[in-house]
Amino acid sequence: MGVQRTFSIIKPDATIRNLTGAVNAIFEKAGLRIVAQKRILMTQAQAETFYAVHSERPFFGELVEFMTSAPVVVQVLEGENAVLAHREVMGATNPSEAADGTVRKEFALSIGENSVHGSDSEENAALEMAQFFSGNEIVG
C-alpha cells in the first residue's frame, strides 16, 4: 500500500470541548503525521458540498447544522496505509460500537456528534482535501 494521505476533520463537538490536541495525540501515536491543518468555521455551502453523498439521508439537515455550529479543524494526515489506519483509530461511526482506545470511544457523544471524520477511500481523500487545501498548504 505504501505511504498515503487522507483527509480528516475534528468536528465541532470535539473543538468546543478543547480536545483538538488530545485527538491529534491519538493520531500521531498511530503513526499519522499532520501535514496540513487549519481551524475554520464551515459555511452551510461547504458542509452541503462536503456531505453531498448523504443529501437524501434523513439526518442530512441535522448533519449540516452540526458541522456549521462551531469551528472544525480540517487536516491532511500522512502515513503508511493512512486511509485505513485513520479509519481504525477513529473507531466505528456509532461510539457505542467503537473499540477501546479509538477517538470515538474516548470522546464521541453520539452517532451524530462523533468527534471526527475520515475519508473512506484514497480517491475520496484526494477530492476532500482539494475542497479545503491548495497544494502548497500541504507540506509532508
Could you give the dihedral angle defined by the CA atoms of residues 37, 134, 32 and 5, in that order, rounded to the nearest 10 degrees?
160
CB atoms < 10 A from the CB of 132, how many? 19
Tally of residues, the chain: 140
Binding flag, residue 120, ligand ATP (CB under 6 A): yes
- Which position among 82, 115, 117, 133 bears the catalytic label? 117
Question: Backbone phi, then psi, for 76, in 5-degree steps?
Answer: -115, 130
Enumerate residues 19-58 that contact ligand ATP by CB under 6 A: 54
Cα–Cα distances in angstroms (integers) from residue 40 to residues 3, 11, 34, in the given order: 27, 11, 16
86 in active site: no
x/- mask, ligand ATP, residues 7-26, rule CB under 6 A, reads --------------------
112 binds ligand ATP (CB under 6 A): yes
Q: Should residue 114 be labelled a site residue for ligand ATP when binding is judged by CB under 6 A?
A: yes
What's the grid cell of residue 103? 477517538
- Tell me: does residue 122 bind ligand ATP (CB under 6 A): no
The catalytic site residues sit at 117
Contacts with ligand ATP by CB under 6 A lie at 54, 59, 63, 93, 111-112, 114, 117-118, 120
